[in-house]
Amino acid sequence: MSETIDLTATFVPNDGEYVRMKLALEIAIEQVVTEPGCLRYEITEDSEERIVLTERWESAVDLDKHSQGIAVQDLNESLSALLAEPVQLDRS
């Protein structure tokens, strides 16, 4: 049996883009929580300076499928002009 995968993704918005960034993340969350293997996908820290999204996946295979999926592609496109710096991913 494979081990679960935990990730945190930290998003830093450009000045004035917090509301648009949070909306884009909320839309993605609605899609991602229905993906196979998704055990957790939620905002766990939220401020005008940064938003932290916490993820848990049943397996690396499920995470890989998610990473290649349409929800992530749409989110990346939505965030491309809103990010002050690249998304920081931490895997545990």
Beta strands of 12-50 (E only): which ranges?
A: 38-46
Tell me the residue range of the domain where 21 lies: 5-91
Backbone φ, ψ for residue 73 (5° rounding)? -60, -45
Structure-token pair, residue 43? 């905002």
Q: What is the CATH number of the domain that holds 31?
A: 3.30.70.100
8-39 tens-digit pLDDT: 999 999 999 999 999 999 999 999 999 999 99
49-74 tens-digit pLDDT: 999 999 999 999 999 999 999 999 99
Q: Looking at the 3D structure of the chain, how many domains does it have?
A: 1
Sequential DSSP letters for 47-73: -SS-EEEEEEES-HHHHHHHHHSHHHH
Binned at pLDDT 50, 70 and 90, residue 7 comes out as very high
What pLDDT score does 1 carry? 55
What pLDDT score does 83 carry? 97
Please give the model's pTM, rounded to 2 decimal places.
0.92
